[in-house]
Structure 1
Amino acid sequence: METGNSLLLYLGVCLSVWTSSTAVENLDHQAENVRWVSLDFTSILTWTAPPSDYKYTVQFSMDEGDWMETLNCNRISETECDLSEQLQALDGSVSADIRTEPAAYDPSANVEDFPHTYSPVFNPYKQSNISAPTFTVEAVDDRRVIVNITDPLTTNHRRGKQMSIRDVLKNDLMYKIIYHKSGSTGKRDILSTTNVKEFMDLEAGHVYCFMVAAYVPLRPKDSRHGAWSTQLCSPPGDILQELGLGVWVGVFFILLTVIIIIVTVTVLCCRQRNRALQTTQSSRPV
């Protein structure tokens, strides 16, 4: 009986040593440098690890709740996991757990004995970067311009429709617009709560240039601004309207000078011709 107990004890010790050695070995391959990369609510968890046959399983927790499995990141070889569908741009604190597992699957193994690497806490609603919007500039008349902004799209879908950042952020989304006269260094900016903004009482005859970025004032300071768009300018106005008084005075004197020269040359040519005719007629024999 004692021999049997000793054998069981020996096997238990061996199993414990084997499990410990496997866990220590896994430590050399566990995930490191874990970070979140998120743009327009496409949120991807990334990490680094040396090349190996080890697998990685990712779980996540919302607001310190229960850990939930990610079906698309179960025993994967890649060092990134797309959590966009699971998070759906929720306004909550997300934590992720990356578990390093040996390549050979052992259903009897205690997964808690494997190395775990935890991510920084992340809130997609407040921290996801926003890409630059596209927009158009339409001149209504020589003093009014309309800027029409298109919301960037996300990779999330709701009821079969692809969502925009406006669908996610709703009334929290604003747009900051910078504008200035072409050729001028003086810039002004305004905030718009809608996608269409009309600029009135602009200086007639001038071209105005615009840049647009998403702005979410309720976010932390370092993530309120989205990326700035490329610059677009209003169509050039009527060239006649852009000419100032001084230019018009100069044009008038140039035209007057040209007319005087033409008249003078014409008169001189006519006189010279008349003289030539008179000389010819007087020299003919009678």
Structure 2
Amino acid sequence: MINTVWLKTFCTLVETKHFTLTADKLFMTQSGVSQHIKKLEKQIGAPLVAREDKQFSLTEAGKKLYLEGKEIVELLSTVQQRVTADPAFEGTVRIMSPGSVGLKLYPHLLAFQRRHPKLNIDYRFAPNEDTVEALTESNADIGLVTTEPANNLLVSEAIGEEALVVITPEKTMNVDWEILSRLGFINHPDGEYHAKLLLSANFPEYAENPQLRHAGFCNQIALIPEPVSLGLGFTVLPQYAVESFAKPQLIRVHRLPVPVSETLYLCSRRQRFVPHRVKVMMDEIKRKLA
């Protein structure tokens, strides 16, 4: 392996074209420069410079070594800066969240990325359990969940609330238990959980017997309101999912007398050093969702 100190001396000599100038630039003696060159030649196994009185010229081996070596010297001279650099608006930030939050947050973060094009936002829609697992295994930088994780490896902070609402076809002006029962329930991956939270708090009938006639199922968060807009049933969704629906004029949002919300927790892995870009992204998320 080539001694990089000797290589730096050699490349400096080639660039200054003078042993004395090289010694001054590297804070060495002239004899020290000569020793570095001789040691490098011995290590390479070939002469690098041809001395001619007080001047010198490069041998073929010297020319080749300089072309290769100057890149190595340049990389070494900036390695500390590159390793310790922590730019706020460069690099990848991996984010995971429930779909409803993502529908509101992701477009905002894309606009943020457009203002800072050296950022690379890796956004995944995922349930709470998958997000917690990814954070624990360092496969995500930031996670948003609706249940505070009981995991000592993670830190979490409540940053906002997302209301649960009933949505019905646009012509349904009011809702009661009879109307909902007649409409039927459009289920989704979190449908029964959300229905239990909201409907049991507002309808004794559901609290006593949590059964609804199922009128359909959809697992695409942005399209869950679609069958509702066609008059095929009602559903319960987080507010952000409703706000993102492309045809709001075809549905009606009902806020029930007893409001129910899910708390949003911003989570990350507990660690001593948090990259600046991750801190910046967490602040941006808080501003958008708080």
Q: Fold match, TM over 0.5?
A: no
* Higher RCO (CA 8 Å, separation ≥ 6 residues): 2
Normalized per residue, the structure richer in strand is 1
Normalized per residue, the structure richer in helix is 2
Choose 1 or 2 for highest CA Rg. 1
TM-score by length of 2: 0.29
